[in-house]
């Protein structure tokens, strides 16, 4: 597949290319699909870490290349792993939603990494939506004894049903996308309440992965207005509104 300028840029930055094969597809909710993939070469070449993502390549009806990133979850010694796909309008989502066993896909790994803050984390704040739920689960698994709060923007009732965690020390709040203000307002209000109760936000870790504009606004507010040290805020937009 010709990958255009995106592929060229990724190569400059040391991207590694692989092929993966669909083994199984499971409909989790009407808008969420889990795919089991065979990717032994990929897993041998790149050590798995929490929030690790892989870019998969697609071609639209005009022959134009597109790439989308998906969190690598549940890697196994047999060379298999899973991804979970939020189904929406787009060539990538349509292709994966209808993927049958045997379908081969081109994959690229570049730019993925994970580092928790140095020192103790008193409370973990995870902010995202359906697209970042798989990554959020891996962060929770990486800090299994750290109490956490998860805020998710949801588009419809089906997204309300997507499972996040069974941990009793994790609160999950789901807010309708609506005007776009619900999520940042809810997070900043909760942080203010924790501060009033005597908890210093600088002792917490904020992992942000919602839509780009929301991610940028919330990250800036936490650093500039709340005073959270930049090393305690990890912000990576998982998608961009049109």
165 contacts 144 by C-beta, under 8 angstroms: no
Residue with tokens 């965690």: 165
In this model, does residue 5 exceed pLDDT 60? no
Tokens for 115? 């580092």
For 103-139, write each residue's pLDDT tens digit: 999 999 987 888 888 889 999 999 999 889 999 999 9
Q: Would you state the pLDDT for residue 209?
A: 93
Residue 242: burial class (beta carbons within 10 Å; 0-12, 13-18, 19+) = exposed
Out of 9-18, 106-115, 231-240, pick the least confident: 9-18
Give the model confidence (pLDDT) of 21-55 as tens digits. 999 999 988 888 999 999 999 999 999 999 999 99
Is residue 49 within a helix (H) or strand (E), and if so which, with residue range?
none
The answer to whether 126 and 62 are in contact (CB under 8 A) is no
Mean pLDDT for the chain overall? 89
Residue 146 pLDDT class (50, 70, 90 cuts):
very high
Residue 12 binned pLDDT confidence (cut-offs 50, 70, 90)? low
Q: Are 219 and 240 in contact (CB under 8 A)?
A: no
**Domains, the chain, with CATH or none:** 11-109 (2.40.30.10), 123-235 (3.40.50.80)
User: Contact 228/200 with Cβ under 8 angstroms?
Assistant: no
Q: What tens digit of pLDDT does each residue of 209-226 get?
A: 988 888 998 999 899 888
CA distance 2 to 15: 15
Give the number of C-alpha atoms closer than 13 A to the C-alpha of residue 74, restricted to the C-beta side. 11
């Amino acid at each position: 597949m010709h990958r255009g300028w995106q592929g060229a840029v990724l190569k400059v930055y040391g991207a590694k290319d692989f092929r993966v094969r669909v083994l199984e597809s499971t409909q989790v909710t009407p808008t969420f699909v889990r795919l089991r993939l065979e990717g032994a070469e990929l897993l041998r070449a790149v050590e798995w870490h929490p929030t690790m993502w892989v870019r998969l390549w697609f071609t639209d009806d005009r022959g134009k290349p597109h790439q989308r990133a998906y969190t690598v979850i549940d890697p196994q010694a047999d060379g298999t792993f899973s991804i979970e796909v939020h189904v929406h309008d787009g060539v990538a989502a349509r292709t994966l939603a209808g993927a049958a066993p045997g379908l081969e896909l081109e994959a690229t790994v570049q730019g993925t990494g994970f580092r928790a803050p140095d020192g103790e984390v008193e409370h973990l704040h995870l902010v995202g939506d359906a697209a970042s739920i798989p990554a959020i689960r891996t962060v929770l698994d990486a800090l299994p004894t750290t109490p956490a709060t998860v805020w998710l923007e949801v588009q419809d009732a089906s997204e309300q049903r997507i499972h996040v965690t069974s941990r009793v020390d994790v609160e999950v709040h789901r807010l309708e996308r609506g005007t776009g203000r619900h999520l940042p307002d809810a997070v900043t209000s909760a942080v203010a309440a924790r501060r009033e109760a005597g908890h210093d936000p600088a002792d917490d870790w904020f992992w942000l992965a919602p839509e780009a504009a929301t991610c940028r606004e919330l990250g800036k507010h936490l650093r500039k207005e709340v005073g959270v040290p930049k090393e305690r805020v990890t912000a990576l937009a998982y998608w961009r509104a049109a």
